Amino acid sequence: MRRQTKADWQPWDNEIKRYRAEDSQGLNADMAALEAHIKQLRKICPKDSAGYPPNRALDYLNKLQKHLDGVKSYLAGFVS
């Protein structure tokens, strides 16, 4: 099994830094930006020899997705 190096994680780290540096553009735009951020991270995250992301990446992606889903469900409560 190939060991993942710091260089393998560099695009991942750069995407996280880019997203954190963005200014808020309002709730709808921020939610769309978070969805795009999650999609981009899924695409660029390092993969193991079987093609799966490591636990560190999966944990972070799941945390982001849960936050996004929580906000959507909270907002859906106001619409009904």
User: 43 with 37: CB under 8 angstroms?
Assistant: no
**Token pair for 77:** 């409560």
Note the pLDDT of residue 80.
60
Band of pLDDT at residue 5, cut at 50, 70 and 90: confident
Note the pLDDT of residue 17.
96
Band of pLDDT at residue 79, cut at 50, 70 and 90: confident
Mean pLDDT for 55-79 is: 93
CA distances from 35 to 5, 19, 32, 53, 67 (A): 27, 11, 5, 18, 11
Place of tokens 């099994």: 1
Structure confidence by residue, pLDDT tens digits, 6-57:
899 999 999 999 999 999 999 999 999 999 999 999 999 999 888 889 999 9
